[in-house]
Amino acid sequence: MKASTWHSYVTTPLGVLRATTDGRSIVALGYDAPFVESVSKPPEAARELLDALRAQLDGYFAGHRTVFDLPLAPAGTPFQRSVWTALCDVRYGETASYAQIAQRVGSPAAVRAVGAANGRNPIAIVIPCHRIIGSNGTLTGYAGGLDRKRMLLALEAPAPFSRRAA
C-alpha cells in the first residue's frame, strides 16, 4: 500500500516550488512541477511540516537562514542517500566538486555516479545540490537550470568586504 502524501506550493524568487510531505518528513521539493492536488485534506502534522518548510525557505531567501532544520526522507538507493547526506555537509556559502563528494562517500572513482545522484536529488535547495560544481570550478547541470543555480550561489556568496571610513 502506497503511503499518503500531501502537496503544497511555495512561491520563491526562483519560481513556484512544489513541496511534498508524507506527514512525518519532507519527501520532495521541486521546480516546474505540474499542479497536483492532494487527494485528502492533510493532517495537522503535514500542514505543520509544510508551513515550517515555507517559513524556512522564506528565511533562506531573505538571507536570514543558512541551515535548514526539517525532517527529510528522500526516496533513493543507499548510494544516492549517502550522496545526499554528503551534500548536506557542504555548508552555506561553500562549494564542493563531484570528486570531493565521491571521496566523502568512500567511492573516489564514482564521480559520474555522484553526478547522477546529485541530479536526482528530490529535495532541491534544502539538500543543497546547487553547491556542487565541476573540479575546475565551472558550474555544471542543475535540475532547476543553471540560471537558478547561479542565483542560489550568489545568494549564498559572502558579502564583499567593505571598509568603514576612518
Q: Kindly write down the DSSP assignment for every residue of 138-154, as one continuous string.
A: -----TT-HHHHHHHHH
Please tell me whether residue 81 adopts helix, strand or coil conformation. helix
Q: What cell does 133 get? A: 560544481
The residue from 117, 129, 132, 152 that is catalytic is 129
Cα–Cα dist 163/52, whole Å: 37
Count of Cβ atoms closer than 10 Å to residue 71 Cβ: 12
Task: Look up residue 9 and give its DSSP letter.
Answer: E
| Region of 145 on the Ramachandran plot (φ > 0 left; ψ -120 to 50 alpha; else beta) | left
φ, ψ at 117 (rounded to 5°): -65, -40
Which of 86, 72, 94, 89 shows the shortest CA–CA distance to 115? Answer: 86
Cα–Cα dist 140/114, whole Å: 13
Task: State yes or no: is 129 an active-site residue.
Answer: yes
Catalytic residues: 129
